[in-house]
């Protein structure tokens, strides 16, 4: 079995986990929620297995590099990272709502990666990318992106939760208290901001090694800085201005839109960082 075949199976497993989380949430059943956690864990193990196998396959082809170099490989790693973080947060907070908002994201990412327009071929690295900084830079950036993705999902819950929703009045009423959502958004943004900062620093060091300069205002670099500034503004507004609640949730959503454009949008622009 090839890594691509494993990833195809994993896509459906992530989809099953999403369905189980939805059933648990809608019908207030404990068993589907527990099964959803187990299924997600299986998906993560399978995802990691596929990444390792793809790495081995690249060596068998005489290419030999970490599977983090193109759009397909980054999507696979992104999905796994989101799933790992959401499982940890769900364990930490003991709330199934984390899985409800987070589990669809890996499923959608894997489904997108399986589209014919996404090239899943293992390709040799160009000379500029042949560096140990590839792993450090890409992994830290995507851990940050994954945390921002979960913060985005929690922020949407905050924005959709009615201020005067009576207990037991429907699915929306089961959304946790505003304080829990606000606190989790803040923690996920801080976590993501730390890793994005490390990712930008390692990227600058790598750029100097590859191209002889730390910063060149490439579209990816520019939008990474814009994303960093948005989340820095969010943390500043909360810590120094006392912003909470809806304002922070909106900024979190704006920041994740910047993340998505940094990841996908800049591929439409000429630059050194475009994923193919």
Distance CA 72, CA 50 (A): 13
Q: How do the domains of the chain map onto residue ranges?
A: 1-121, 126-276
Instruction: Say whether pLDDT at 137 is over 70.
Output: yes
Of the listed ranges 28-37, 62-71, 220-229, 261-270, the one predicted with least confidence? 261-270
Residue 236: CB atoms within 10 A of its CB come to: 12
pTM above 0.75, yes or no: yes
Only one residue has tokens 């201020």, namely 163
Cα–Cα distance, 190 to 169 (Å, whole number)? 33
Mean pLDDT of the chain: 90
Q: What is the pLDDT of residues 165-206, one digit of tens each?
A: 555 556 777 788 899 999 999 999 999 999 999 999 999 998
Closest CA to 154 of 245, 35, 26, 27: 245
Q: How far apart are CA 89 and CA 96, in angstroms?
A: 10
């Amino acid at each position: 079995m090839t890594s691509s075949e494993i990833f195809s199976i994993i896509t459906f497993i992530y989809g099953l986990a999403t369905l189980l989380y939805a059933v648990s949430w809608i019908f207030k059943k404990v068993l589907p929620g527990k099964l959803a956690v187990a299924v997600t864990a299986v998906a993560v193990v399978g995802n990691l297995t596929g990444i390792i196998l793809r790495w081995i396959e690249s060596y068998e082809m005489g290419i030999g590099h970490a599977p983090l170099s193109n759009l397909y490989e980054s999507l696979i790693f992104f999905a796994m990272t989101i799933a790992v973080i959401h499982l940890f947060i769900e364990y930490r907070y003991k709330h199934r709502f984390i899985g409800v908002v987070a589990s669809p994201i890996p499923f959608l990412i894997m489904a997108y990666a399986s589209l014919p327009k996404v090239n899943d071929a293992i390709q040799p690295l160009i000379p500029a990318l042949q560096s140990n900084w590839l792993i450090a830079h890409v992994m830290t950036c995507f851990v940050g992106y994954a945390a921002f993705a979960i913060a985005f999902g929690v922020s949407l819950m905050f924005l959709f939760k009615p201020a005067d929703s009576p207990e037991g009045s429907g699915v929306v009423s089961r959304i946790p208290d505003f304080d829990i959502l606000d606190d989790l958004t803040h923690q996920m943004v801080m976590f993501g901001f730390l890793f994005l900062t490390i990712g930008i620093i390692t990227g600058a060091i790598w750029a100097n090694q590859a191209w002889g300069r730390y910063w060149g205002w490439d579209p990816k670099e520019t939008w990474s800085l814009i994303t960093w500034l948005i989340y820095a503004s969010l943390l500043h507004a909360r810590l120094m201005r006392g912003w909470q609640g809806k304002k922070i949730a909106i900024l979190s959503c704006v920041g994740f839109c910047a993340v998505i454009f940094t990841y996908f949008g800049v591929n439409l622009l000429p630059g050194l960082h475009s994923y193919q």
